Structure formats: structure tokens, C-alpha cells
Structure 1
Amino acid sequence: MALDQSPEIDYDESQEGKEMTFLEHLEELRWHLIRSIAAILIFMIAAWFLKGLIFNTIILGPSKPDFWTYRMMCKIGTSVGIDSLCVDKMNFSLMSRQVSGQFMMALTASAITGLLIAFPYVFWEIWRFIKPGLKLTEKKASRGAVFFVTLLFMMGVLFGYYVVAPFAINFLVNFQLDPSIENQFDIQSYIGVLATLTLACGITFQLPMAIFVLTKVGVVGPKFLRDYRRHAIVVLLIVAAVITPSPDMISQIVVAIPLYFLYEISILVSAREEKRKLKEEAKLNS
């Protein structure tokens, strides 16, 4: 994985290398924040008008037995002779126990949707504010940062939505201490679990970018990551167990495998960045 190419645009080439006062920095930051918030609000309003589709198809999707993940689980289970992987029904009902409950949930869901869709633009605005303060070599090394951060975040969100959240929700809603106890969950609780797991995966998938930054500042290196690979595998299994409430090993392994691949990609990213740093040091010393 290399931070090579991305459709980034320098917002004001005339500002490159120009010293700015503290107040000018604050003013520049203010406009970046204003544009970011405006983008979130625009997508939030659009999501509000599409709230019926978003709720019925996307948000409530993992709560239905015909959800894509459950159908795939059933196909896999049938092919290997494990019929228990098929989800026939979800043993719970959703309720709204507050007068303004459904309205607030529609507002919250619209805000989360607006933030997810606007994330690439928001991060680009943040990057535009940070970029002028970097050295030329740092700008070259971090080229493509917006693209890769966005790509990894969206991959993590999709993984959380289609893998982690369905496993967790299916386990939690079907867990019963006694058949006489009915599962009636508040809509806020359901959306909270779905949003938390999905966003957590989006953040977790930033591991290669985090390793890139840590390698750049000299905190870790490829040798360190390789030497502690076994320890990392244990940590990844623990993380998989934490974000997957289901106690069965299959669910935890399904979650742990992508995390392990991200760790291996992080080693390659770290090795590439360390190699680049050694080349620069050799040029300076020659």
C-alpha cells in the first residue's frame, strides 16, 4: 500500500510558504469548519427527506431475517451442513417509549448519515488546513492521504454494517435467560448498537494510516511490527471478541481475519516509509 496518487487540489497555491499570524490561522480554520459543517448539514437534510428509505432498508436491515448477511450465512451453513447458521426469525420487537422518540431518532439517523457521506469532504477540509504547515518532503510522502483514509474508513463502515453488526445483533436479540422474558428494545438502543459497531470498525480500519504516521515520527518500525506479530495476533483476537458479543469462535475469527490483513498491510506501509526515510537521510549525508 503506497500513498501515491489522489485527486487532491491545493486550495490556494499563493498561500504556500507564506507566514500567517495566529489570528489568520484561526480565521482559516473557521472557514474550513464552516464548509465542513455546511456539507454535513446538506447531506443531513437530504437524508431527512429520504428517512423512510434509510430506516426501512439500511438501519432496520440487520433486524430482518432476509438481510443479505443472514442469507449468505444460511447458504454457507447449508453447504457445510450447519443449519444453525440460518436465521429464521429475530426474537425481538422495537419500541419507542418517548413521545419525541421517533422524531429524535429520525434526526439522529439523518445526522449520522450526513456525517458518513460528508466524511471524505470533511477530512479533505481538515487536510487542506494542515497541509500548508508541512515540509515539501512531508507533503510528497503523505500524497494520497485523503484518498486512503476515506477508502479505509468506508471499507471499515461496510465491514461493520455487513459483518460485525449482524453477528452482534443476531446474538443479542436472540439471547434469552428464560422463554417467558420477551425482548422489547427501545429504538434508541438498537440504533446506538448499530452506529457504535459500524463507526468503531471504520476507525479500526485506519490502522495502516496510524502505523504510517507512527513510523514517520519514529515511534514504530517494520522490525518492531514483525517481532511482535504474535502479540499483535492475540490483541487482534481480543479486539474481535470485544466488538463481537457473540461467543462462538466463527464470528470472532471472521472479524479477526480482516484485522490481521490490515496489520500485515501496516507492516508493508511501515517498511516503505522507513525505506523512504533512509533514502532521504543518505542524500542529506552524501
Structure 2
Amino acid sequence: MENEVKNEMSFLDHLEELRWHLIRATLAVLIIGCVAFAMSGFIFDSIIFAPSRMNFPTYEFFCRIATYFGMTSDFCAEELPFTIQSRTMAGQFSADIWTSIWAGFILSFPYVLYEAWKFISPGLYEKERKSSKGFIVIASFLFFLGVLFGYYVVAPFSINFLGTYSVSDVVKNEFDLSSYISTLRASVIACGIIFELPIIIYFLTKIGLVTPEILKKYRKISLVVVLILSAVITPPDVASQVVVAIPVLFLYQISIYISGSVLRKEAKKEKRRKNA
């Protein structure tokens, strides 16, 4: 019945409904963004600038590994050889505003997904809605897992590599505040989106655009694409790219299994229909 009502809606009605879903999602981002703005001191000192200090958990972890094997490592330095500065009048205020908005988006991601799902789900059949019940929970979990991976693994590698890289002792690393934040943000958001790969494959399989055979056939091409993506969101050193590529390839293998599982379920349903 719900499907019929949805189908009877005009194009303008659909646009109006989409507009309200977008308004509610945007309000959620802005409200949480305002809370983040009120807590900007904590966010910048304890979260944003934490990877620029050598007591960051990731640096300590890799320093212990290097020490255990008797190797020297940049992760064991007393401090990173760079400073962060703001060179424009509105630089710090602008950084505070945009950081709050991005924090609002990250923290409200489950609700943004919920609004997207509320718009899409009425157009699905009852069985399809039931089979996709855990969509918001799983997609949110993967996104936050990617965000944590980006923050604790990719971002420290990027900041450590770029912060210690030098062409000459004559040149000092004095990074602009916006440049530092954009490096951190790119690592976190990109990983969050990349970790949604199994969800994307699930829906592409449901609509018939992807099969396990296709995923297996283009595995080598996918590996190249993964390495390119890794190069985009990490500094140009092999270690960082491998660090990103490993979980993405693991997610790709999981996606193959998910795609096969979806097709098997569809085949069983089709068999039941024929036998009924």
C-alpha cells in the first residue's frame, strides 16, 4: 500500500519530500556543529592537534615496535619539526567554523543516513525493507570505523611523513592552519567513505549491476584503483599507501562474499516462487 501511495506522488511532491529530508539532515549537522563550536577548545587541543604531538598513541605504538627490534625511527623523536601558524586575519575563525561543521557531519552521520533511508525506503518492497533493516547501523559502524582508522593510522602517518620531510636544512616547515586541518580532514573523511564499500556493493548487487564474478574478474584492476585511492589520501610514501590498501582490499574480499550472499538469497526466493 505504501508503495502505491509513493508511486502516485507527482515529481514535485517527491522534490518537496526530498527537500524536507535534506532540511532535517542539514539542521542536525548544524545543531551538532554548534555544540562542537562551543567545545572548540577541547576539539582543537585534544583531537585536531593531538597527531602533531609525539605522545600521540600511534607514535608511541610504532616507537615501541622500532625499539623492540633495535631500529631508529622518526616515531621516537621528542617532537615533530614543524610549527602550525595562521597567516590570515580570519584564518582561525574560519578554521573553527568549518571544523565545527565537519564535526557536525561526522557525529550526525547516522541521522543523515536515517533521513536518506526514510526517503528511499517507501519505494522499496516490504521484503526489501526487511532485508535492509540493519542498513543504518551497519553503514554507521563502517563509517565510524573508517573515521577512527583515518584518525589513528592514516593521519599520523601523513603528518609524520610530511612534517619531517625536508629538502634542505635551510627550509623550515611552518604549515598554515588550514593546510594542516585539510590533511587531517581528508584522511578521516576519505577513510570513512571508503569503508562503506561493502554497503555500496550490497546495493549494486541488489539492483543487478554487480556480481561476484565481475568483482573477481576485475580484482587486479581493483587493486590498482585501491592503490591510486591510497595515494590520493596519503603522502607519497609506500608505507602509508600499503597501510590504507590492506584494509580496503580486505573490505573488497568481504564485498565479494556479500555480493554472493545476496545472489544466493535472491535465487532461493525465485525458487520458492516457482514452487509455490
Match of 2:131 in 1: 141
User: Could you tell me how far apart the structure 2 residues matched to 1:188 and 1:250 are?
Assistant: 25
CA contact (8 A) 1:73 1:85 kept: no
Give the whole-Å Cα distance in 2 for the aligned partners of 1:112 and 1:38: 13
Q: Which amino acid aligns with 1:272?
A: S
Match of 2:81 in 1: 91
AA partner of residue 208 (structure 1): P
What secondary structure sits across from 1:212 in the alignment? helix
**Are 2:162 and 1:162 aligned?**
no
**2:59 and 2:236 mapped to 1: Cα distance?**
15
Partner of 1:25: 14
Secondary structure of the equivalent of 1:83? coil
| Greater shift in the superposed pair: 112-121 or 220-229 | 220-229
Match of 2:140 among 126, 150, 169: 150
Paired amino acid for 2:244: V
State TM-score, norm by structure 1.
0.89
Alignment of 1:161-240 (within 5 A): 161-240=151-230
Give, in whole Å, the separation in 1 of the partners of 2:274 and 2:2.
31
Matched with 1:10 is none
Secondary structure of the 2:73 match is: helix
Query: Where do 5+ consecutive residues of structure 2 fail to align?
Result: none
Give the CA deviation at 1:264: 1.3
Is the CA contact 1:120–1:146 (under 8 Å) kept in the aligned structure 2?
yes
2:51 and 2:156 in contact (8 A); partners too: yes
Deviating more after overlay: 183-192 vs 28-37: 28-37
TM-score, reference length from structure 2: 0.92
Deviation for aligned residue 1:223: 2.3
User: What letter matches 1:101 in structure 2?
Assistant: G
Bigger drift between 229-238 and 172-181 goes to 229-238
Match for residue 71 of structure 2? 82
Q: Return 90-99 or 214-223, whichever deviates more.
A: 214-223
Work out whether residues 186 and 233 of structure 2, in 8 Å CA contact, stay in contact via their aligned partners in 1.
Answer: no
For these two proteins, the number of residue pairs brought into alignment is: 272
For residues 24 and 220 of structure 1, do their structure 2 counterparts lie closer, same or farther at Cα, with a shift above 3 Å needed? closer
The separation in 2 between residues aligned to 1:234 and 1:30, in whole angstroms, is 38
**Rounded Cα–Cα distance in structure 1 between residues aligned with 2:267 and 2:234:** 41
Could you tell me how far apart the structure 2 residues matched to 1:87 and 1:167 are?
Answer: 13
The counterpart of 1:105, out of the listed 88, 95, 101, is 95
Q: Give the alignment's Cα RMSD to 1 decimal.
A: 1.8
Q: Counterpart amino acid of 2:243?
A: V
Q: Secondary structure at the match of 1:90?
A: coil
Question: What letter matches 2:207 in structure 1?
Answer: V
1:94 partner SS: strand
1:15 to 1:227, Cα distance in 2 relative to 1, 3 A: closer
Distance 1:183 1:67 in 2: 20
**1:246 offset after TM fit, Å?**
4.6
Residues 61 and 251 (structure 1), Cα distance of their counterparts in 2 relative to 1, 3 Å cut: same
Which residue does 1:273 correspond to in 2? 262
Residue deviations 1:3-32 (CA, integer Å, cap 9, x gap): xxxxxxxxxxx9564232333323322221
Which of residues 125, 138, 156 is equivalent to 2:115? 125
Distance 1:228 1:28 in 2: 39
Q: Does 1:264 align with 2:253?
A: yes
In structure 2, how many angstroms separate the alpha carbons of the residues matched to 1:121 and 1:213? 20
| Residue 283 (structure 1) aligned with residue 252 (structure 2) | no
For 1:238 and 1:42, the matched residues in 2 are separated by 36
Q: Which amino acid aligns with 2:67?
A: T
Cα deviation for residue 187 of structure 1 reads 0.2
Match of 1:78, as an amino acid?
T
Q: C-alpha distance in 2, partners of 1:235/1:186? A: 31
When structure 1 is superposed on structure 2, of 134-143 and 63-72 the one drifting more is: 134-143
CA distance in 2, matches of 1:37, 1:179: 47
Find the aligned partners of 1:144 and 1:98 in 2 and give their Cα distance. Answer: 46
- Whether contact under 8 Å (1:222, 1:267) holds in the other structure is yes
In structure 2, the partner of 1:69 is 58
- For residue 182 of structure 1, what is the amino acid of its counterpart? K
- CA distance in 2 between partners of 1:149 and 1:229 (Å): 23
Secondary structure of 1:219's counterpart equals coil
SS in 2 for 1:45: helix
> Aligned to 2:185, what secondary structure does the other structure show?
helix
